[in-house]
Every structure is written in C-alpha cells, then in structure tokens.
Structure 1
C-alpha cells in the first residue's frame, strides 16, 4: 500500500476512512494518498443551454469538489501524510476507476454508509460498484 486512492465526499464514513488511513500510514513511510472528489455532471433540463452556461456549471461543480476535499487535505496534512488532491467532474464510478489507473494506485480506501442489503439490491452502492470496477484491492471503512 504505497499509492492509495481515497474518495472523499465529506461524509462521516469518508472521515472515518481518513482516520483509519492516518492510523496505518506510519507502517507505510512512502505512502502517497490521492484524495479525490467526483462531482456528477450538471443535470440540464430544457432545449437550449449556451456554451457559456455549460462552462459555468462545470466550473461550479469543480469549485464545489475543491471545497469538499479541503477538509480531507487538512486532516492528512496535520497527520503528516503525503497527499495530492484531485477535483473531478463526471460519472463517479468511471472517474474513480480511471483515477486508479492513471495515478497508478495500488489500493482504494473509502468509507461506506452501510446501507442495507435490500437498499444495495435496488439502488446499488458506490462502494459495491467500486469493488467490482477497479482492478486493485478496495478497503471499505464503516
């Protein structure tokens, strides 16, 4: 575990994943954590949206992603864990899988909200889909 992807959405489970990672980071002195927040593409309704408006919506989503990962970066910085922050707009699962490959990550550590099996059956969950889509081990923190 030297190059870790840490999806972060600001939720309590995501914060617990950071706490877990900080706890084990001492065992991996060369660890690099890639904190990522993926915002979904803006939902558009209507027949016409100008290019300028699309650009503003995309920029707003990126700004929001950057705001969300500030807290994660602060937690890792305070613990002395080397990290990089990535703000992305797109389809969440696809962007996480792409980040694993493009950043050369060997592990994904992420929080899970612990939905019931029935909820996962009907809606799926981000954590479950990540486990199936990425080619590296995924550690889920409750």
Structure 2
C-alpha cells in the first residue's frame, strides 16, 4: 500500500526551521498533487482586553501576519500551487493540532529546534506537543 498525502499543513513562524519545513512540504505537495495550507498563529490576547479594542487588535495582528506570510504564499504560487493561508489566535502547539484535525489534514510538516527545558532538549515544545497529540503523521525538519 502506497501512502499519499492529499492535504498538508505547514505551520510558519518566519524562522529558519519553518522555512526549511516549507521546502519539504513543497516537494511533497508537488510530487503528490497535495493541497498545501500555511498556518500562522499569533499568541493569545489577554481576556482583560475586550470589545472593540480586542477586535481592533486582532485585525492588526491578522494584517501583520498576512504581511509576514506574503513572501511564502508568493513562493508557493510561483511553483504552481495555490496555498490556503490560515491565521489563528492561540498557543501554536494547540492550534496546529486542532487545525490539522478540523481541516482533515493528513500530514503536518513543521520545523523543530532545541530548547533548554527537559521536554524540549531534542525538539521545541510546540513540535513536541504536536508530535504527541496530532491525529496524523508529523514530519519534523531542521
């Protein structure tokens, strides 16, 4: 049985690790004809901020994320693929797992990096969380 991927989720944070992950995901998407989605998370906004100020802050954060992600969207389009761009509020590890499941993705491709805490000695805490909780395969890149 040969496994193929239909939908690939690529969390992006503008780090070297996430750029490397995108390169792997692009190769897989091109060879397998898979749909590619780029996911960017901005942190949680404190609950003390509510109403219109909260909405305005979210709009500003989404605009900034769109600017940050524009070069990656452009790169994907130049290779003949039309990526989805997903921007969400929340803790990255949790958001990635939730989005992968709710969006019915069958592969997550993401970067990893070493941290000083015991859980993150070999990989970052978000990568560890995703690897532990994701419903689908996770490809971690350096």
Give the RMSD, CA atoms, in angstroms. 2.3
**Structure 1: 5+ residue stretches without partners:** none
Cα distance per residue 1:47-99 (max 9 Å; x no partner): x6452212222222222222222122112111122321111112322221221
Distance 1:51 1:106, change over 3 A: same
Contact 1:112 1:140 in 2 (8 A): yes
- Residue 3 of structure 1 corresponds to 7
Tell me the TM-score normalised to structure 2 length: 0.83
Structure 1 moving runs of 4+ over 3 Å: 114-119
Change (3 A) 1:4 1:57: same
TM-score with structure 1 length normalisation?
Answer: 0.83
Larger RCO (alpha carbons 8 Å, 6+ apart): 1
Aligned residue pairs: how many?
137
